[in-house]
Amino acid sequence: MTPPASRTPVLECIGVERSFGGLKALKGVNLSIAEGEIVGLVGPNGSGKTTMVNVITGFYPPQAGQVKLFGQDITGMRPYRIAQHAVARTFQNLALFRGMSVLDNILLGRHVHMKPGALASLFYWAWAAREETVHREVAEDIIDFLQLQDVRDDAIETVPPGLQKRVELARALASEPRLLILDEPMAGMNQEEKEYIARFILDARDERGVSILLIEHHMDVVTSLCDQVLVLSHGEAIASGTPREAISSPQVVAAYLGQRAAARAGASA
């Protein structure tokens, strides 16, 4: 996948490979995201999607290939340093902190902008208090943006799962990312909850200038939200392009349905 010529590349992955023992999870995968673009990363279970995200965010350094962020080589960079380069992510399984309120969970997204220290603590009212006020203002703005006002003070474990997904998105946006990676943000949601999250994803792109990498199994979501799609199967890129082009590829149909079912589907068509 190559970004449109008129747009600045935000993320470029070139020939990325990653193995775990004898299992080759990624086999020379190329991926590009242009500024202001939503790119879908799809494929059957075990195709390498989450491994690709973990390579991009530094959890699994690639054993071959290169990862560039805003033109800078970040291959093998530690996760906390990549986060400092305006990258945020959500997780396939909820990673919120129980025993804390919705507001406090969102404030944790501000950690990359916080500057703790003994001197700041010593002069709290002159220094740290002002910084804390700024962070709270950003968190409150995100709460308004994602319509979480009714649960802002609730303990996170008392919030319904669909809203917890929204809180996790809020925490990611609180870090003010330029690249947002969403790992199955609609898993387990009903149709109404999916429509809410889809709208918020578009608003994040349009109103906050965030470029987005979206991993999602719901193909209706992928086709309606994404500008480009990359499809993986067994660690290899088997199709890319616009959502309808990529998803209708015979290789993609075979990967999802199996060769025989795909042949029957083609015959019946």
Residues 70 and 126 in one domain: no
**CATH number, domain at 52?**
3.40.50.300
8 Å CB contact between 210 and 180:
yes
Q: Is residue 257 part of a domain?
A: yes
Q: Does residue 91 sit within a domain?
A: no
Same domain for 141 and 201? no
Query: Which of 174, 194, 219 marks a domain boundary?
Result: 174
Judge whether 92 lies within some domain.
no
121 in the same domain as 80: no
144 occurs within a structural domain: yes
pTM of the model: 0.86
Domain check: are 197 and 267 in the same one? Answer: yes
Sheet harboring 23-34: ordered strands across? 23-34, 9-20, 64-69, 72-73
- Phi and psi torsions of 88, nearest 5°: -135, 155
Are 197 and 78 found together in one domain? yes
Domain that holds residue 124: 100-174
List per-block mean pLDDT (blocks of 10 residues) for the chain, which spans 269 residues.
Answer: 65 96 94 96 92 95 95 94 93 85 92 62 58 86 95 94 92 95 89 92 95 92 94 94 90 72 47
Q: Are 255 and 238 in contact (CB under 8 A)?
A: yes
Among 130, 146, 174, identify where a domain stops.
174
- Helix H segments across the chain? 49-56, 79-83, 102-107, 118-122, 129-145, 161-174, 191-208, 219-225, 243-247, 250-257, 259-268
* Domain assignment of residue 93, yes or no: no
Same domain for 158 and 107, yes or no, is: yes
**Residue 256 confidence (pLDDT):** 76
Say what the pLDDT of residue 177 is. 95
147 and 191 share one domain: no
Q: How many CA atoms lie within 13 A of 46 on its CB side?
A: 6
Domain contains 169: yes
Q: How many domains does the chain have?
A: 2
Domain co-membership, 190 together with 268: yes
Contact 65, 14 (CB under 8 A): yes
**Whole-number pLDDT of residue 217:** 85
- Say if residue 81 is in the same domain as residue 145: no
* Residues 187 and 245 both lie in one domain: yes
- For residue 161, tell me if it sits in a domain: yes
Domain C-terminal end among 174, 207, 225 = 174
Radius of gyration of the chain (CA): 20
**Sign of the CA dihedral running 144, 145, 147, 152:** negative
Residues 144 and 198 in one domain: no
> Which burial class, exposed, middle or buried, applies to 121 when counting CB atoms under 10 A from its CB (0-12, 13-18, 19+)?
exposed
Same domain, residue pair 166 and 213: no
Residue 62: inside a domain: yes
The per-residue pLDDT for 241 is 93
**Can you give the pLDDT at residue 269?**
46
**Residue 7: predicted pLDDT:** 66
